[in-house]
Amino acid sequence: KGAMSPAEVCDALALRNMHNRRWHIQGACALKGEGLYEGLDWLASTLNEMQASGIPTSVGGMTR
């Protein structure tokens, strides 16, 4: 109730204009536990792919 859809979040943040970063919008409902694991799976998979490719990642300002 009152939540934005993934498309609305994408539009509000103008993510389609961000071409130099990987991004993903995952619809989620914390009350029902829907979408949370899918979003975290995407994040873990993407970070692993980037690390395997030698692409630097940063977490909290620290480059890995």
pLDDT in tens, 17-64: 999 888 999 999 988 989 999 999 999 999 999 889 888 877 655 565
pLDDT value of position 33: 87
Look at residue 48 and tell me if it is in a domain: yes
**Neighbour count for residue 36 (Cβ, 10 Å):** 13
pLDDT value of position 5: 93
Domain containing residue 42: 6-63
Cβ-based neighbours of 4, under 8 Å, separated by 6 or more: 12
Look at residue 54 and tell me if it is in a domain: yes
In the chain, the largest separation of any two C-alpha atoms, in whole Å, equals 42
Please name the amino acid found at residue 38. Answer: E
Give residue 15's pLDDT band: very low, low, confident or very high (50, 70, 90).
very high
Number of domains in the chain: 1
